[in-house]
């Protein structure tokens, strides 16, 4: 079975500061991992995905994530936060077939 | 434009009144699914379909029905809605290529059952 834990339901950073959103996973098989972003009143949009090709994955809008098997983690980072990054972020692990198992989400607030 | 379209975006209904939320995709995807999003719980899968006439239960199927008569459409049916089905619902689609496949999501349907 697969599961995801996102540490911190709310994260607040200042504009220009480092963004770090934490995700730990559990998987009985080699994991495929995803980060999605949800802007207000919109659907989910894929930021990036890990599919075992490289442990450091670069995504859209300057985000990246590093897969660490020893820590069962897939944390999302961005060097410098922008106001437009304010959104809810979801980490997900692939379950059986095409099913996605999501974490509870982290709401990112960016202060000016 | 490649997209997943859900209707309606917002719906307020009364307990017990049957309703249908439609979902349509124009990407020729085989796999479609419905999720509900609740605060603190993330998204949970309700039902999924691997192709036409092939559907199966997800993690929280109670109180819902689906059908897949055409490849592009995957409606979600609530025969007798109850207040605990008040939630934000998302339809998603993807190519049926296994665990590393990206899912595309609709804009969501916010349902309130009073």
Is A43 part of the contact surface with chain B (CB cutoff 8 Å)? yes
Q: Which residue has the tokens 């490289």?
A: A54
**Yes or no, beta carbons of A103 and B94 under 8 Å apart:** no
Predicted local confidence at residue A29, as pLDDT: 85
How large a percentage of chain A has pLDDT more than 70? 100
**Yes or no, beta carbons of B50 and A97 under 8 Å apart:** yes
Predicted local confidence at residue B98, as pLDDT: 74
Q: Residue B99: pLDDT above 90?
A: no
**Residue of B34, B99, B102 to mutate for A, most A C-beta atoms under 10 A:** B99
Q: What is the pLDDT of residues A35-89, one digit of tens each?
A: 999 998 889 999 999 988 789 999 999 999 999 999 999 999 999 999 999 999 9
Q: Which long-range contacts (CB under 8 A, 24 or more apart) does A55-59 make?
A: A59/A35
Q: Residue A96: pLDDT above 80?
A: no
Chain A positions touching B107 (Cβ under 8 A) are 41-43
**Please, what is the average pLDDT of chain B?**
95
**Region for residue A52 given its phi and psi (left: phi exceeds 0; alpha: psi -120 to 50; beta: otherwise):** left
Q: Using beta carbons and an 8 Å cutoff, which residues of B are at the interface with A? A: 4, 31, 33, 35, 40-45, 48, 50, 58, 90, 92, 94, 96-103, 105-108
Predicted local confidence at residue B44, as pLDDT: 95
**C-alpha span between A97 and B8 (Å, rounded):** 28
**Yes or no, beta carbons of A97 and B31 under 8 Å apart:** yes
For B25-54, what is the mean pLDDT? 94
CA distance B109 to chain A (A): 10
Q: What is the pLDDT of residues B43-95, one digit of tens each?
A: 999 999 999 999 999 999 999 999 999 999 999 999 999 999 999 999 999 98
Predicted local confidence at residue A30, as pLDDT: 85
Predicted local confidence at residue B100, as pLDDT: 79
Q: What is the pLDDT of residues A15-28, one digit of tens each?
A: 999 999 999 999 98
pLDDT band at B96 (very low <50, low <70, confident <90, very high): confident
More confident residue, A68 or B97: A68
- Please identify among residues 46-85 of chain A the ones whose CB lies closer than 8 Å to any CB of chain B: 46, 49, 51
**C-alpha span between A32 and B101 (Å, rounded):** 9
R_g of chain B computed on alpha carbons = 13
- Which of A4, A41, A98 is facing B96, going by the closest CB pair? A98
State how beta strands A73-78 and A64-68 pair.
antiparallel
């Amino acid at each position: 079975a697969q599961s995801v834990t996102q540490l911190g339901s709310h994260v607040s950073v200042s504009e220009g500061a480092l963004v770090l959103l934490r995700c730990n996973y559990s998987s009985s098989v080699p994991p495929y991992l995803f980060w999605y972003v949800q802007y207000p009143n919109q659907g989910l949009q894929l930021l990036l995905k890990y599919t075992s090709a490289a442990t450091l994955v670069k995504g859209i809008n300057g985000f990246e994530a590093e897969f660490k098997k020893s820590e069962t983690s897939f944390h999302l980072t961005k060097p410098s936060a922008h106001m437009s990054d304010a959104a809810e972020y979801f980490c997900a692990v692939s379950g059986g077939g095409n099913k996605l198992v999501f974490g509870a989400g982290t709401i990112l607030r960016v202060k000016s | 434009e490649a997209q997943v379209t859900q209707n309606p975006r917002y719906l307020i209904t009364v307990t017990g009144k049957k309703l249908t939320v439609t979902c349509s995709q124009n990407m020729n995807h085989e796999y479609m699914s419905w999720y509900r999003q609740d605060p603190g719980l993330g998204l949970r899968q309700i039902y999924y379909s691997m192709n036409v006439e092939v559907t199966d239960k997800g993690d929280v199927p109670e109180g819902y029905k689906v059908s897949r008569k055409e490849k592009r459409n995957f409606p979600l049916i609530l025969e007798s809605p109850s207040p605990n089905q008040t939630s934000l619902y998302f339809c998603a689609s993807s190519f049926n290529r296994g665990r590393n496949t990206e899912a595309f999501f609709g804009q969501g349907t916010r349902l309130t059952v009073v």
